[in-house]
Structure 1
Amino acid sequence: MLFHLICYTGYMAKRRFVTKSANSTRKLGEILGEETRGYFNRKKTGFCVSLEGELGSGKTVFAKGFARGLGIVRPVTSPTFVLAKRYPVTKSRFRNFWHVDCYRLKNARELKTIGYENMVRDPYAVLAIEWGDRIRKYLPKEALRIVFQHEKKSRTTRILTFYGA
């Protein structure tokens, strides 16, 4: 249902969610991952999520939940120093989950070194791109953007704003 609300509306949808803990942020990611497993579009393209926001705002926690929702059971770690990690996906039309982290990206040429173009063009790939705002002009136009914000009055509360294409 979450996926439908955001991705199948036919216009630039905007939905806001508030999570009160890292666990609830992870769970929201897991729900989106579960729903993504059954995602199908006529163009038969992959699925890309851009995770944007401040340092420590929950992007990696969300990505770990998203991976679990896709059915990935092995530990998912942040690819900060290697830029991208691949995890196989089963029980879905998708075959690969790519966790990309653009925090340390020096320039767009580095995207080429990790095979980003192939990832984005692969109709059987799901991408979660942390710091996706740093490469916005290279994101697929259908990418789902999620902007993470700290709640000013709480250390654990996060505001996640989803922008569907």
Structure 2
Amino acid sequence: MVSRQNNIYSLEELKKLASGIAKTLEGGEVIALFGDLGSGKTTFTQFLAKALGVKRRVPSPTFVVMRAYDDLNLRDVSLHHYDFYRLDSLEEIRDLGVEEDFKDPKTICVIEWAKKAKELLPEKRIEIYFETVEQGKRKIEVKGHRL
């Protein structure tokens, strides 16, 4: 698995990182996001969705658990944005049908709080670790097969 570390000092740099990753996506990818509350996972996902062509607002799915976006630049590919923060068990996550989404070649899955579902994640995935180093500065490590 390839690994790349990034020091991010601004929202513009985070947007550039998300855009770069979006350019590598074709459908069928699972992007697992790890990091503390407020570390940039939702903001990164918003930038990624915009880079993929989503025109509408991309709010956090914390209370609804999953939001789907079908208006991507990629033909016949959808983005499923999951947030497992409020879920307490692996069974709750499994009941959502995420394993089927993970296998769908026409779906890009982005999962916030992926550590809660690590046992369900496919072996082939992109992992992104967010760490707040100081106010306004983040260390972001990207691990994956296609970087």
TM-score, normalised to structure 1's length? 0.81
1:57 corresponding residue in structure 2:
39
For 1:60, what is the secondary structure of its paired residue? helix
The count of corresponding residues between Structure 1 and Structure 2 is 145
2:108 is aligned with 1:108: no
- In structure 2, the gaps of 5 or more residues are none
Amino acid at match of 2:28: G
Amino acid at match of 1:29: A
Q: Is residue 2:11 matched to residue 1:31?
A: no
Q: Deviations over 1:80-137 (max 9, x none)?
A: 0111110004332552100001111111111233221221121100011011122111
Q: Per residue, is there more strand in 1 or in 2?
A: 2
Q: Is the 8 A contact 2:93 2:117 kept in 1?
A: no
> Which one of 18, 40, 49 corresponds to residue 7 of structure 2?
18
Counterpart amino acid of 2:3? Answer: K
Query: Does 2:51 align with 1:69?
Result: yes
Unmatched runs of 5 consecutive residues or more in structure 1: 1-11, 40-44
2:37 matched to 1:48? no
Q: Which has the larger helix fraction?
A: 1
Structure 1 counterpart SS, 2:55: coil
3-state SS, counterpart of residue 129 of structure 1: strand
Whole-angstrom distance in 2 between the partners of 1:134 and 1:126: 19
CA distance in structure 2 between the aligned counterparts of 1:104 and 1:150, rounded to whole angstroms: 22
Structure with higher RCO (Cα < 8 A, 6+ apart): 2
Paired with 1:145 and 1:14, the residues of 2 have a C-alpha distance of 9
Question: Secondary structure at 2:119's aligned position in 1?
Answer: helix
